[in-house]
Structure 1
Amino acid sequence: MIELTVALVVFLFPLAYSPGPGNMFFAAYGARYGVRATLPATTGYHVATWLVTVAIGFGFAVAIRHAPGLFLAIKWVGAAYVFSLAWTFLRAGLIAGVQEARPAGFLDGVILLALNPKAYLIIALMFTQFLSEAQGNRTMLVLWIATVFTLNNLAAFLVWTAVGERIAARLRRESSSRAINLIFATVLAAVAVWMMLR
């Protein structure tokens, strides 16, 4: 189990820590609200991550493979959701008197993961590499792989959120709050475009 875990973490490191849509989402929210305010969304995302990873490990990937239209629908709905989050930042940055954008909550984190079909592909790829050759109790292996994957991903997101918070702390001034909101809206819109094009 130790050898499997080490190999899994090495395999996941570049996937988890490279700038992908989830990392950019949490970096933007960390920059805007700080690490503490993003913890509900981070928790929601990773509870959903663990559940989806377990489901795929036990065969959810088969349903996606036999229903390619489902994958496409999830992709477009997910992109639309992230665009809507970008729009809240944009409105807060451009229109005087509009309610300030709020921190993402637990449900936002769940939705972000659920509507990110690329996460499903990464998880399915991980299981093809680490479950097919594994020996022993398959149920325990699926649960262990899902747990290691989720904790590794959580660590990466916390790093990106903290980096976003540190960068924003250097730039934050009252007069620049609208510009910062525009930057965050642009980052989230870019995440949505990435989700559509991948």
Structure 2
Amino acid sequence: MPELTPLALYLAAASVLAITPGPGIFYVAARTLAGGRREGIASSFGTGLGGMIHVLAASLGVSAIVLESSELFSALKLFGAVYLVWLGFRTFQAARLKGATGGDDGAAVGPVGPRRAFREGVLVEALNPKTAVFFLAFIPQFVNPSAGLVALQFVVLGSVSIALNTLADIVVAVVASGIQDGAAARPGLIRRLREASGGAMIALGVGLALAKHPAA
């Protein structure tokens, strides 16, 4: 298993990376502002599960196969990009529609429920090939081959990273929920925050679509 000092360095690095804004954080924020704390926390666990899919795939060598194939990488990248842009556009459009109608009713702009928020969170993370690139580039630096059980070390370290990411997402959900509650009398502010979250997801989706193959 990883030694104490490298593990401490890993925890420090993983903690910094966990609070770095990415698709998961923006989705959790948008979902919380639209559907409340329950949906935000559900989406946080969804992104966590999506991340674990990458961890397990990387430990089994599946991610390496995907990244070695420019066709597979491009396919996953485009699926993820389209999904992010669609979620971002839906979030932005819903915020504008709510601002135009001035109400909280209507399925198009209201909560989607924790289950759907969870499923969408899984897809947001699982369809992001940059997550696979990250795990394959970052975690092996802290694996100790001489200790044996390399795959198990990878899964343990990856699980720690996912736990930190999920914790950061939950904090975002709680903070966004507090903002939502505090700004209940200022619907314009909530609308602008939702629009910003939607715009950020669209931008991240476009950035993902333009991402180059790691070997390029």
With structure 2 as the length reference, what TM-score do the two structures score?
0.78
Residues 178, 44 of structure 1: alpha-carbon distance in 2 compared, 3 angstrom cutoff: closer
The alpha-carbon distance between structure 1 residues 181 and 31, as it changes in their structure 2 partners (threshold 3 A), is closer
SS in 2 for 1:99: coil
Deviation at 1:107, TM superposition (A): 1.5
Match of 1:183 among 190, 196, 202: 196
Count of residue pairs brought into register by the alignment: 198
- Residue segments in structure 2 that go unaligned for 5+ positions in a row: 212-216
Identity, in percent, stands at: 22
Farther-moved stretch of structure 1 (41-50 vs 105-114)? 41-50
Pick closer, same or farther for the CA change 1:182–1:138 going to 2, 3 Å: closer
**Kept after mapping to 2: 8 A contact 1:5/1:148:** no
Q: 1:125 to 1:90 in 2, by over 3 A?
A: same
Partner of residue 9 from structure 2, selected from 3, 7, 10: 7
How far did residue 178 of structure 1 move? Answer: 4.5
Contact 1:21/1:195 (8 A) holds in 2? no
CA shift in 2, pair 1:189/1:169, >3 Å: farther
Residue 108 of structure 1: aligned partner: 120
Aligned to 2:134: 122
Q: Distance in 2 between matches of 1:48 and 1:41?
A: 10
Question: Who is 1:93 aligned against?
Answer: 95
Q: 2:142 and 2:3 mapped to 1: Cα distance?
A: 13
User: Take 2:153 and 2:63, find their aligned partners in 1: how far apart are those partners?
Assistant: 17
Q: Which residue of 1 aligns with 2:149?
A: 137
**Residue 6 and residue 134 in structure 1: after superposition, are their counterparts in 2 closer, same or farther (change >3 A)?**
farther
Counterpart in 2 of 1:162? Answer: 174
Residues 188 and 171 of structure 1, relative CA distance in 2, 3 Å threshold? farther
Question: Partner of 1:79 in structure 2?
Answer: 81
Q: Alpha-carbon deviation of 1:5? A: 3.2
State TM-score, norm by structure 1: 0.84
- Name the CA shift for 1:128/1:20 in 2 (closer, same or farther; >3 Å): same
The question of 1:148 aligning with 2:157 is answered: no
Quote the RMSD (CA, aligned, Å).
2.5
Query: Which 5+ residue runs of structure 1 have no aligned equivalent?
Result: none
The alpha-carbon deviation at position 175 of structure 1 amounts to 4.4
